[in-house]
Chains A and B, each alone.
Chain A
Amino acid sequence: MRLTLRVWRQPDADTPGAMVTYAVDGISEDMSFLEMLDTLNEELILKGDEPVAFDHDCREGICGACGVVINGDAHGPERTTTCQLHMRHFEDGDTIDVEPWRAGAFPVVKDLVVDRSSFDRIIGAGGYITAPTGSAPEAHATPVPKPDADFAFEHAECIGCGACVAACPNGSAMLFTSAKVNHLNVLPQGAPERETRVLDMVAAMDEEGFGGCTLTGECATACPKGIPLPSITAMNREWLRATRKVAR
């Protein structure tokens, strides 16, 4: 396959960037999108140019490190992570636009790499339990109803990649925050901090400068782990409940 790539190049956070056009040849349709970028970088290095910086780690779709906006879609046209997106979903001769996640709370570090530590600070505000867990408990000690376990697991699937923020027209982090809140709030282990968790995590989310939710549904469409849109509804319910219970 022969492709034309238009890639966002930005040397560092303080220097303005621009879309730069590259031609890449010899791309196999079995390559992943990241392998295609690796091919481009090998050529750039051989020519003595600066390679395109992008985040990646496990390359098997479970770590959440990779993620770029491909032709306006977070993680590209398929519902998966960028590392699991294969070149067979593109046509020979295509022009592909590759951009970093765009959000004020995700400042560009270099090229396609953004700083997502705002997500870490949201987690730090309440995405944990305070109960000492020790070693693995006896399985029957704390029964969890099956629907609750399923609900918690569905939300625990969130890998914190940030595609929801990148896809949202408002740059909102509601889907991410709701996945983390719902995951722990439904379980008995997360019950002691049920109210403070949702209030503090939502406050941290707002403090980071993410936008508000207008329920466009773009986040859930982009999410590679299929966190559903009603997660946001569930978090709204938890937040209103906590506001009634805790606030003076």
Chain B
Amino acid sequence: MALATRGTDQRPSMTRTLWGSTIGKKTVMAVSGLIMLGYLVAHMLGNLKIFFGAPEFNGYAHWLRTLGEPVLHHEWALWILRVVLVAAVVLHAVCAYQLSRRDRAARPVGYAHKRARATYATRTMRWGGVILALFIVWHILDLTTGTAHPGGFQPGHPYQNVVDTFSTWYGNVVYIVAMLALGLHILHGFWSAAQTLGVGGAARERALRTSAAVLAFALTAGFISIPVAVMTGVVG
């Protein structure tokens, strides 16, 4: 005699199952997070070209616009990338918001005896994420559209634009704080994404923790090296 299970024969679609479940939403966050992480690795490596002078850096920026030609029209590859990234950011943020709301509601009455729970990187995931989202807005207004750029923004001359931004004290502060937040976010986020996608486990624990730490450190150090280089006059 088989016991009746809850609606074995009527299953919702995969999208509904994913979006309707806490594990599904975390899966969306893990995948979108990894897409953004992959982009950041390429972005950081591209940024390092600034150390080889204005012609190389500006040439690289120009090449990005010709990427995929002649199959793709001018700048199409860049726009495809932008659409994918915006989708990843939006999905990541929406899931984080919904899950956070749910987590708060799961403990309506808190403990009288308070103590710090989990590691610093884990505790700062939510506020760190908000800081990063605000940073992205400023970063695009500063160096992509030029709306919030200090001095005259020159399209097609990213080398000079970067030097201009990092010649202001607030440009350096905002950028460095955001990159430290990024490192902490990746430190917990990368390892966490692996657990959510089910690829972690006791055997891979050390490899995943090390990879998360190396990625977090390399990205933070790589990005921060540029404002430091402008401040010290290595780039300028």
Binding site for B on A (CB under 8 A): 6, 8, 19, 69, 71-73, 97, 99, 102-105, 108, 125-126, 128, 130, 132, 167, 169-172, 193, 196, 199-200, 202-206, 209-218, 228-230, 232-241, 243-244, 246-248
Q: Is the beta-carbon distance between A196 and B8 smaller than 8 angstroms?
A: yes
Interface residues on B, range: 35 or more
Answer whether residue B150 sits at the interface, using C-beta atoms and an 8 A cutoff.
no
Other-chain residue from A71, A213, A214 in contact with B125 (beta carbon distance below 8 A)? A214
Instruction: With A103-B107, A170-B103 given, name 15 new contacts (CB 8 A).
Output: A71-B115, A72-B115, A102-B110, A125-B6, A169-B103, A199-B11, A203-B21, A209-B106, A212-B22, A214-B122, A216-B122, A237-B199, A238-B198, A247-B14, A248-B13
In the assembled complex, the Cα of A193 lies from the Cα of B5 at a distance in Å of: 9
Q: Which of chain B's residues have a CB closer than 8 A to the CB of A238?
A: 198
Tally inter-chain residue pairs, CB-CB below 8 A.
Answer: 160
Answer whether residue B165 sits at the interface, using C-beta atoms and an 8 A cutoff.
no
Q: Is the beta-carbon distance between A246 and B11 smaller than 8 angstroms?
A: yes
Q: Is the interface of A mostly helix, strand, loop or mixed?
A: mixed
Rounded to whole Å, the gap between the CB of B115 and the closest CB of chain A is 4
In the assembled complex, the Cα of A232 lies from the Cα of B191 at a distance in Å of: 13
Q: Is the beta-carbon distance between A102 and B117 smaller than 8 angstroms?
A: no
Answer whether residue B233 sits at the interface, using C-beta atoms and an 8 A cutoff.
no
Task: With CB as the reference atom, state the residue of chain A lying closest to B14.
Answer: A247
Q: Which of chain B's residues have a CB closer than 8 A to the CB of A214?
A: 99, 103, 122, 125, 192
Q: Is the beta-carbon distance between A104 and B103 smaller than 8 angstroms?
A: no
Q: Which of chain A's residues have a CB closer than 8 A to the CB of B172?
A: none
Task: With CB as the reference atom, state the residue of chain A lying closest to B192.
Answer: A215
Q: Is the beta-carbon distance between B117 and A247 smaller than 8 angstroms?
A: no
16 contacts between A and B (CB under 8 A): A97-B112, A99-B111, A170-B106, A196-B5, A205-B22, A206-B20, A206-B21, A206-B22, A209-B105, A216-B122, A230-B200, A236-B196, A237-B198, A243-B17, A246-B11, A248-B11
Binding site for A on B (CB under 8 A): 1-3, 5-6, 8, 11-14, 16-18, 20-27, 99, 102-115, 117-119, 122-123, 125, 188, 191-192, 194-202, 205
Q: Is the beta-carbon distance between A171 and B106 smaller than 8 angstroms?
A: yes
Q: Is the beta-carbon distance between B195 and A236 smaller than 8 angstroms?
A: yes
Q: Is the beta-carbon distance between B113 and A97 smaller than 8 angstroms?
A: yes
Q: Is the beta-carbon distance between A212 and B6 smaller than 8 angstroms?
A: no
In the assembled complex, the Cα of A141 lies from the Cα of B104 at a distance in Å of: 49
Q: Which of chain B's residues have a CB closer than 8 A to the CB of A132?
A: 1
Rounded to whole Å, the gap between the CB of B113 and the closest CB of chain A is 4
Other-chain residue from A6, A211, A246 in contact with B106 (beta carbon distance below 8 A)? A211
Q: Which of chain A's residues have a CB closer than 8 A to the CB of B11?
A: 199, 246-248
Q: Is the beta-carbon distance between B103 and A202 smaller than 8 angstroms?
A: no
In the assembled complex, the Cα of A204 lies from the Cα of B114 at a distance in Å of: 30
Q: Is the beta-carbon distance between B5 and A200 smaller than 8 angstroms?
A: yes
Q: Is the beta-carbon distance between A130 and B3 smaller than 8 angstroms?
A: yes
Q: Is the beta-carbon distance between A171 and B107 smaller than 8 angstroms?
A: yes
Q: Can you list the 5 inter-chain pairs with the closest CB atoms, starting with the nearest?
A: A237-B198, A171-B106, A211-B106, A216-B118, A170-B103
